[in-house]
């Protein structure tokens, strides 16, 4: 058993850190050619065919069911935990030191400043998805409903479904998370949603991480995020303001 592995979800070839900490995973591999050097997420027990809706969470599901490690994490091909490694990514030694302080590593919280977590989702996507999430949590996990409302009313949250968790904590989180997401998925009307907004399950899942961590009193440390590749800050700000004040939904990642 490896001590710590961070899976790096990607849908296409991309640079990956060489540190043995990282395992590149082809998210949404079902029906597609193998990416050289990548673990497919459609092997073993998996939900790879849901990738268009679950996004990076199909890779997480694969790791939960098939990866043998004491600590398991999730990062993205362009989004990593920051560290002293290649291109500013977290190293194995740094991960070990952080995990000696707490059993969970999370990225630093995103601050929306001028709106709440819920209003940000409603302005950039379809707010009905949040209502569906509320309904499902009330049905399947009512003891978390109050924490969900608190989180939605806040202006900060941990985003991107990124974390590193001790195995027993990961098992408990995923066993709680995926039944909720499956029911949310069944209730969303995808007929009129463009591809970016069809990834709704992956997006609403971001808000459940803090709900679960807070309710269960899970200790964690934070690490800032390292973004690889070009990020057009001006474009992101314009899109954010257009969504907030002009009702223009996001049409892609930034």
Distance between CA atoms of 83 and 19, rounded to whole angstroms?
A: 12
What integer pLDDT is reported at residue 252 of this predicted model?
Answer: 56
DSSP string, the chain: -EEEEEEEEESS------STTEEEEETT-TTSPPPTT-EETTSSS--GGGHHHHTTHHHHHHHHHH--EEEEEEEESSEEEB-SSGGGBPPHHHHHHHHHH-SEEEEPPEE-SSS-HHHHHHHHS-THHHHHHHHHHHHH-GGGHHHHHHHHHSSEE--TT-EEEEHHHHHHHHHHHHHHHHHHHHH---TT--HHHH-HHHHHHHHHHHHHHHHTT---EEE-EEE-S---HHHHHHHHHHHHHH-----S--
Distance between CA atoms of 5 and 67, rounded to whole angstroms?
A: 9
For the chain, give the mean pLDDT. Answer: 92
Mean pLDDT within 160-169: 98
Q: What percent of the chain has pLDDT over 70?
A: 90
Least trusted range by pLDDT, from 55-64, 71-80, 176-185, 221-230: 221-230
pTM, whole model, 2 decimals? 0.91
pLDDT digits (tens, 9 = 90+) for 115-131: 999 999 999 999 999 99
Count the alpha carbons within 13 Å of 170 in the hemisphere toward its beta carbon: 30
Residue 240 has pLDDT above 90, yes or no: no
Cβ neighbours, 10 Å, residue 109: 14
- Dihedral sign for Cα atoms in the order 63, 196, 249, 236: positive
Cβ neighbours, 10 Å, residue 174: 18
Least trusted range by pLDDT, from 87-96, 108-117, 197-206, 238-247: 238-247
């Amino acid at each position: 058993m490896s001590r710590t592995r961070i899976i790096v979800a990607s849908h296409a070839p991309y640079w990956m850190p060489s540190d043995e900490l990282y395992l590149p995973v082809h998210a949404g591999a079902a029906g597609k050619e193998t990416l050289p050097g990548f673990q497919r997420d459609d092997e073993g027990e998996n939900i790879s065919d849901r990738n268009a809706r679950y996004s990076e969470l199909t890779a997480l599901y694969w790791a939960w069911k098939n990866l043998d490690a004491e600590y398991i994490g999730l990062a993205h091909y362009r989004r990593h935990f920051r560290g002293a490694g290649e291109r500013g990514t977290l190293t194995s030694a740094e991960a070990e030191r952080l995990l000696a302080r707490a059993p969970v590593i999370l990225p630093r919280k995103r601050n929306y400043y001028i709106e709440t977590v819920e209003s940000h989702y409603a302005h950039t996507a379809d707010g009905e998805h949040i209502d569906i999430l509320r309904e499902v949590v009330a049905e399947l996990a009512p003891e978390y409903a109050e924490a969900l409302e608190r989180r939605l009313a806040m202006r900060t949250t941990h985003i991107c479904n990124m974390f590193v968790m001790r195995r027993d904590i990961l098992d408990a989180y995923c066993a709680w998370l995926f039944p909720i997401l499956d029911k949310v998925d069944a209730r969303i009307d995808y007929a009129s949603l463009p591809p970016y907004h069809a990834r709704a399950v992956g997006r609403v899942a971001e808000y459940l991480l803090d709900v679960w961590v807070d309710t269960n009193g899970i200790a964690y440390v934070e690490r800032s995020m390292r973004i690889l590749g070009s990020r057009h800050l001006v474009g992101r700000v314009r899109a954010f303001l257009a969504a907030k004040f002009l009702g223009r939904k996001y049409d892609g990642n930034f």
